[in-house]
Amino acid sequence: MSSAAFDWRAARHQPGWLARLFDWKPFLIFICLLPAVGLLMVFLTYPLGLGIWLSFTDSTIARPGAFVGLENFEYLMEDPVFWQAVFYSVFYTGVATIGKFALGLWLALLLNNHLPFKTILRAIILLPWIVPTVLSAIAFWWIYDPQFSILSYVAVDVLGIRERNFDFLGSEWPARWSLIAANIWRGIPFVAISLLAGLQTISPSLYEAALLDGATPWQRFRFITFPLLLPILAIVMTFSIIFTFTDFQLVYAITRGGPVNSTHLMATLAFQRGIPGGQLGEGAAIAVSMIPFLVFATLFSYFALARRKWQQGEGND
């Protein structure tokens, strides 16, 4: 009996090298990640690398160009239109982000209460975010039109409080503020729904304990709502900053950077110089100049995540 068992063990088939390879955990991890890495290489790494390379060349449409080093960036340092686009990009992002978060947080706190038709209200609030950006831009372009604006019609023909139509897009600062208002209107739903999801994770027992201690509504917001909402608030703000800073469709569809290049963001200026203007190298240099701002926003997100780890009792890496 023991001899038969011994012979069986000796004759048992040993797994081949291929089976052993697929049993090796690092190889399995590599195989599972390979499709994602391939997609990132094709759709992210290659375009980014090509854009960085083009920024160091004098390439134009239909001509490869030659390596010129930092020449494009040196030219941009002396270009007043570029610095105007940098200023407006930062101003546009800062003001629009503050407006979106002020109104979005207010809406989130309102929808977190027990209201009639709360589900329908949430669906209605999402509409500006669901509607395609180009359709929103066309609607605002009509609202801001100097001749056919509905706002001018109400102010001049209905209420009679003005003698002339509004000229929202005809001069520098009215056009800038008009674009910021459109961006705030479009971005509020994203902020409100994201913060509402964060508010619903806060335990009601904390508010009940605060009420027993006699806390005012402001104290409950300051010491319970805001600290517990801060991690998701920081992350949502990071994404909002990135989306706003790289905005293209809304600005290009409404003003195309006008009047007199006053509403150009860095993204729209890069497109104008690179595609209609034909200067691919210069357009790529403007696009590459956006990277430090986006890196700053990403680092902001990292520190927000680190704070969340601390709140959950985990150590920061």
What is the reported pLDDT for 11?
53
The length of the chain, given as a count of residues: 317
Q: Is residue 57 part of a domain?
A: no
What is the reported pLDDT for 9?
53
Q: Coil, strand or helix: which one is 260?
A: coil
Q: What domain count does the chain have?
A: 2
Mark whether 39 and 90 lie in a shared domain: no
What is the reported pLDDT for 247?
92
**Which of 33, 52, 71 delimits the end of a domain?**
52
What is the reported pLDDT for 82?
95
CA–CA distance, 267 with 245 (Å, rounded to integer): 8
Mark whether 198 and 105 lie in a shared domain: yes
- Residues of the domain holding 39: 14-52
What is the reported pLDDT for 179?
95
Q: Hey, what long-range contacts does 123-132 have (CB within 8 A, 24 or more apart)?
A: 125/188, 125/189, 125/192, 125/193, 126/189, 126/193, 127/189, 128/185, 128/186, 128/188, 128/189, 129/186, 129/187, 129/189, 129/190, 129/193, 130/189
Residues 96 and 180 sit within 8 Å (Cβ to Cβ): yes
Low-confidence ranges of the chain (pLDDT < 50): 310, 316-317
Write down the pTM of the prediction.
0.84
Mark whether 39 and 162 lie in a shared domain: no
Mark whether 46 and 86 lie in a shared domain: no
Mark whether 45 and 84 lie in a shared domain: no
Q: Is residue 152 part of a domain?
A: yes
What is the reported pLDDT for 308?
56
Q: Is residue 70 part of a domain?
A: no
What is the reported pLDDT for 309?
54
Mark whether 141 and 21 lie in a shared domain: no
CATH code for position 228: 1.10.3720.10
What is the reported pLDDT for 20?
77
Q: Is residue 317 part of a domain?
A: no
Mark whether 48 and 93 lie in a shared domain: no
The residue type of 50 is: L
